[in-house]
Structure 1
């Protein structure tokens, strides 16, 4: 019984030791994926948080890291704003084209409707053509305009989706940047106060 008990204890210790090693390896692998020059803004913030030095309950962050993070965040915001502006301009252009096509389609439909009450032969660019052939041609043009109109309506709707997604991404990025900026500023202020307190303590100690 004693040997069985010792064997159980040894097995438990081995299992715990293996789990600790695996957890440490997973943590190291996750940290190795973080970068200050690649990945999302959130990953860059996580890089700074994990790689910064600890001072009591505070984090001491390198200034050049903060400057790099600020530049990357502003670049990301500028890129999203540019994509948003391009999407808005594209939506305006497509909307104008859709309105123009609607006008042409309506004109063609009105013209075709007028032809139903006219004579069998119609003068078209100085030549007489059969009324049925003329109607078929006009309705073909109407059908073509309708297809083009549907295509631009489809593109316009897709452009609106892209615009909304870009607006949401920009808002999320601005909110995330503002939150992290405030946190980083608070940490920096706390560290400065703590360091100043330590300096004052050292001065007082030397004075005594």
Structure 2
């Protein structure tokens, strides 16, 4: 029983080693893998000989053609990827340029809106809110000052009018008193004159 287990274990190890060797052989073949691994495979599969004191490596022509085709395929694939990447970069640069233009336009619009928000229209001109408020409060202050001046002038005129009315009333009273006295003097003189006339007539 122990012998059977040992044989079975030995067969399993041999099968695993063979599978691993096949996989490694496939990985290190000219049919796949990296260019480095293919060169390593070619180097291991090449023969060598010495002639005239020099060492030469012998490579089969079919393997050399295969690795050349693989290298050319890799180069073409790399060039195609480079062209695709350049096209993608060009598209991305176009998109970035377009986005930068839109960003600049949006920034300008935002600056215009901010300036418009921070300014007011005054007599058809756009002025800042500070200037607008300054002009507005100057006008309000001027009107208030004018109103106070008007009230002062009105009250002063009213006082002067009342004083004039009082003086006019006094003058009218004096005039009326003077006219009454003048009328009394005139009547008195008229009576005296009439008395003198009557005396004169009687004396004849």
TM-score (norm 1): 0.40
Higher relative contact order (CA 8 A, sep 6+): 1
Structure showing greater radius of gyration is 2
